[in-house]
Chains A and B, each alone.
Chain A
């Protein structure tokens, strides 16, 4: 089955700096890669996703890049703000898979 590895497990950045989280996946058939944000005590919520026919996608201060050959994808947060502090999860899915396999999560702390 699919295996998703996520690094780092914790990330501390100064407000205004950039944060980068990286994930690798094992199943070359995976073609959908979402990112979820989970604030303390709350449910995970989708912040951005990318499909395998696209190499990069941006939404304001967040962007995701995908390298299908290397089977890794990354989340980039620019101009970080205190409200970006949360746990971020990457995930991978494939056509007809119906499953959504998550990485281990990255706890991001933005220091003011």
Chain B
């Protein structure tokens, strides 16, 4: 069966520090991968999605970036965190079909920038 791992679960980082969140998927090949951010009491904002290795689409211009160095690995990064980067970050995957497949979410990372 397919599983998705996301870590760390919680993170407290000072303003201006770098960030690296990692997400890996097991049990499937060529998944579509996503990074969402959920601010407190708000909806799910799509940050990046990827349909293949090295292919990244950015939805929101900001100081975050994403990379997909391997088929089932998706990394969210920042060189310098801002206070506004605080939130709940969720990684998700969908099957390698055009549309209409369920998204499976990781457990999420609660990031607090202080």
Residues of A within 8 A of B (CB): 1, 6, 31-32, 34, 36, 43-46, 49, 51, 89, 93-105, 107
Contacts and interface: CB of A to CB of B under 8 A. Distances in A.
Contacts of A51: 100
14 contacts: A1-B59, A36-B103, A44-B103, A44-B105, A46-B102, A46-B103, A93-B100, A98-B57, A99-B57, A99-B59, A100-B34, A100-B94, A102-B36, A105-B44
B44 A102 contact: yes
A34 B100 CA distance: 9
Given A43-B105, A43-B107, A96 B99 contact: yes
Given A43-B105, A44-B105, A99-B49, A32 B100 contact: yes
A6 B49 contact: no
Contacts, number: 62
B61 interface: no
